[in-house]
Amino acid sequence: MKIVLLGPPGAGKGTQAKFISEKYSIPHISTGDIFRKNIAEKTQLGLKAKSYLDAGKLVPDEVTIDIVKDRLGNEDCKNGFLLDGFPRTVTQAEALDLFLDNKDQKIDTTLLIDVPKESILERMTGRRVCSSCGASYHVKFNPTKVNGKCDICGGDVVQRKDDTEVTVKDRLNIYDEQTQPLIGYYKKQNKLSTINGTGDINEVFKRVKISLEAYLDDNNKN
Ligand code: ADP
Ligand code: ADP
Ligand code: ZN
């Protein structure tokens, strides 16, 4: 299955992505994780991307699109993939469609994780992430078992530099201006499924599964 996860920063995309990736055996591709890894390793891409991430601004489309195309060309994406944090602009979505179309492929479905703005600030300022595997935790809603250590890989769990109140507000504005239009873009293609992202993490995943199973059922019938 080829899936796109949509939703504002802090909606729980990364959290749900880990579950989906495991259950449906498809790679989780997070552009944010790719940028952060490159910044940590001080690669050329990392040096280019750093100022944008620090400021909560979008990395330019040309740079981002090339990285995703490159990643989707990997062998592990042959039977599907889960995109988290990409596309974030209509230009990116169009480039993705064109890239897949040229290979006679298409996005199957997009899941919009819907969370009211009021909850987002608390989710993001309390977020902690594993600096090694990218897993997302929350000081209150999803704490690590051992303080400061990732449950999955034992890596150091830290606060992201861009998860401060000021940067979060800027990122939400950018979401409204540049990413929100993608809801209409995928609705028009009949590919949008809205998931209620409030409540317990496992409850949200149940809703995700119901939506994906419904999609699979429909497609087996056709
Ligand atoms: P969040 O999980 O809060 O939505 P991400 O980890 O997806 O954040 O992204 C972090 C930062 O990486 C963004 O603020 C932006 O600077 C950059 N980034 C990630 N994905 C994209 C993209 N598709 N286009 C441009 N910039 C991106
Ligand atoms: P995104 O990838 O959309 O930016 P994350 O998956 O990183 O979002 O989640 C943002 C923060 O909210 C993290 O601290 C995460 O642990 C927490 N979180 C995710 N889902 C829920 C939920 N259903 N209820 C409460 N907190 C959640
Ligand atoms: Zn980890």
Q: Which CATH class is domain 2-26+79-116+166-221?
A: alpha beta
**Ligand minimally distant from the alpha carbon of residue 46:** 1
Average model confidence (pLDDT) across the chain: 95
Overall average pLDDT of the 211-220 stretch: 91
Percent of the chain with pLDDT over 90: 93
Contact 64, 87 (CB under 8 A): no
Between 61-72 and 44-55, two packed helices, what is the crossing angle to 10 degrees?
120
Please tell me if the CB atom of residue 142 comes closer than 6 angstroms to any atom of ligand 2: yes
**In the chain, domain spans:** 2-26+79-116+166-221
Contact 195, 3 (CB under 8 A): no
Overall average pLDDT of the 198-210 stretch: 97
Q: How far is the CA of 169 from the centre of ligand 1 (A)?
A: 14
Contact 194, 112 (CB under 8 A): yes
Catalytic residue among 18, 123, 127, 207: 127
Please tell me if the CB atom of residue 179 comes closer than 6 angstroms to any atom of ligand 1: no
Q: pLDDT (tens digit, 9 = 90+) per residue, 145-189?
A: 999 999 999 999 999 989 998 999 999 999 999 999 999 999 999
Percent of the chain with pLDDT over 70: 99
For residue 209, is pLDDT > 90? Answer: yes
Please tell me if the CB atom of residue 88 comes closer than 6 angstroms to any atom of ligand 2: no
C-alpha to C-alpha distance for 139 and 42, rounded to whole angstroms: 29
C-alpha to C-alpha distance for 192 and 84, rounded to whole angstroms: 15
Q: pLDDT (tens digit, 9 = 90+) per residue, 23-72?
A: 999 999 999 999 999 999 999 999 999 999 999 999 999 999 999 999 99
Q: What is the largest CA-CA distance in the chain?
A: 49
pLDDT value, residue 221: 60
* Count, residues in the chain: 222
pLDDT value, residue 222: 54
Structure letter (DSSP) for residue 177: I
C-alpha to C-alpha distance for 126 and 122, rounded to whole angstroms: 6
Q: How confident is the model at residue 94 (pLDDT cuts 50, 70, 90)?
A: very high
**204, two tokens:** 């949200």
**221, two tokens:** 């019938």
Question: Could you give the residue ranges of the DSSP H alpha helices within 73-195?
Answer: 90-101, 117-125, 165-174, 181-188
